[in-house]
Amino acid sequence: MTDDGMNRAPGKAPDNTRSHTRNGTRNSTHTSTRSGTRRGTTPITGPVQRLLRRLHAYDLRRPLAWNGLLTVCWGLFAVLDVTSGGWRTVALDPDVSGTLVLLMSVAFSVPLLWRRTHPLAVLAFMAPVSLVNVWSGAVIQAAYVQQVVVFNIALRLPGRALAWAGALVAAPLLAGAAHRPHGWDPLVVPHVWAFALSAMLGIVVRTRKEYTEALVDRARRLELERDQQARLAAAAERTRIAREMHDIIGHNLSVITGLADGGAYAAARSPERAAQALEAIGATSRQALTELRRLLGVLRDHPAEADRAPQPTLDDMDELLTGVRTAGLPVRLRVHGAPPPAPPTAGRQLTVYRVVQEALTNTLKHGGTDPSPTAEVTLTYRATELEALVTDTGTGSLGRHGLGAGGQGITGMRERASLYDGTLEAGPLPASAPVGGWQVRLRLPLEDTPS
């Protein structure tokens, strides 16, 4: 906003603003009207499409009634053609008996009632009637109802049935044309064109129907796949959140528990040590609350407002070990090999950090107290992988096997390793070790490899 706009009295607007607003409203109205006309259904096709949908729905609800109605209509047209004498205008022999013409008209019309269920049989029934029609020279117009049956054959039956239909239609016409040498044009040509148009129309309608059904089926399968993907994504996200909360809360609570036990032991003998333990408990609790608030903030409806911070990396390993030492677990770090020129990705560094954190947390919780355990973290850089080995001299192993409360620690570590095609081994130290204990070995490729 300009200075002039900021200093203008509230509620007043310049005249040019009002004119722009009015013009903009008119233009937007005209634009929306034109675009709506372009995108919407035209006045001609809209009612036609609605009528066709209603007829199709009625046909699905009452197929017998619809078949009977069409059969009656065709029969009435045929009978009116006979009673009015209109058939004589195109007949090759106008002196054919009216009774025979009426019987042929009925024979062509009544079988239409079964044109959907048994179209090929209906056409076979009409073939002798067609032969009598052309042989006698009556050539009544009711014979064209055979094309209705041809349409249903092309719509519902395999292609070879259409070939049989062509033979049933052509045979009487050829026989009649041979009987009347001058009847090729009025007998054969119109029926051939009618047969070709009916067959093509049936094939087109069938193709469109199958294409529409395929689209509907594909849309249904895509919808199911979308729902499945959404469920899988939700499950994966729940697992990720549970893993993060387990690592954050479990580690910090284990440190707090160790500090509280040490502070209670030192309260009677060394009040200064007890005060230091309480300060460490407060700092660890505040850190846990901060990380928990940050994690919950990302899960809110407005993640842009959440407090964000970088995830831990290998550079934060010293801070992690310092906190573990404060909780009463002596731990030392060893690094073998030189880090690669391009450091591992943030996700791989976080995986190593969390695995080491969880392994040391398990030592704090399940390592026992007699004698007090010690731990060692060894990071080994190789040409294509990074290995993290965490060993301790703890005597407890029940909770580490997953038999303790929850049993999510080792499972979470394996899930983290599998995200980057890594492997994790966890179990007691070999019997050849000088003292008992536990080890966790993580091997993680430094680059992506085909899973």
The whole-number pLDDT of residue 220 equals 92
pLDDT of 308 > 50? The answer is: yes
Mean pLDDT of the chain: 77
Which whole number is the average pLDDT over 250-276? 70
pLDDT of 405 > 50? The answer is: no
- At 363-402, the pLDDT tens digits run 887 777 667 788 999 999 998 899 999 998 877 654 555 5
The whole-number pLDDT of residue 420 equals 87
- Give the whole-angstrom CA distance, residue 136 versus residue 104: 11
Neighbours of 422 (CB within 10 A): 23
Q: Please check whether residue 248 is in contact with residue 295, taking contact to mean a CB–CB distance below 8 angstroms.
A: yes
60 φ/ψ angles, rounded to the nearest 5 degrees: -70, -35
388 φ/ψ angles, rounded to the nearest 5 degrees: -120, 120
Using 50, 70 and 90 to split pLDDT, how confident is the model at 441? very high
Q: Please check whether residue 135 is in contact with residue 177, taking contact to mean a CB–CB distance below 8 angstroms.
A: no
CATH class of 314-451: alpha beta
The whole-number pLDDT of residue 104 equals 86
Question: Strand ranges (DSSP E) for 47-138?
Answer: none
The whole-number pLDDT of residue 377 equals 94
- pTM for the model stands at 0.47
Higher pLDDT, 189 or 19: 189
The whole-number pLDDT of residue 442 equals 94
Helices (H), 268-302: 271-298
pLDDT of 83 > 70? The answer is: yes
Neighbours of 326 (CB within 10 A): 19
Q: Lowest mean pLDDT: which of 9-23, 143-157, 252-266, 390-404?
A: 9-23
Higher pLDDT, 75 or 421: 421
Strand-pair partners of 438: 392, 428
CA dist list (Å): 257 to 260, 280, 366, 404: 5, 11, 12, 17
The whole-number pLDDT of residue 3 equals 43
The whole-number pLDDT of residue 390 equals 93
Residue 368 neighbours by CB under 8 Å, 6+ apart: 394, 395, 396
The candidate with the shortest Cα–Cα distance to 253, out of 281, 231, 220, is: 281
- Token pair, residue 324, equals 């573990």
404 φ/ψ angles, rounded to the nearest 5 degrees: -80, -165
The structural domains of the chain, with segments of one domain joined by +, span 48-179, 314-451
Higher pLDDT, 273 or 38: 273
pLDDT of 226 > 80? The answer is: yes
The candidate with the shortest Cα–Cα distance to 356, out of 419, 424, 297, 420, is: 424
Higher pLDDT, 212 or 241: 212
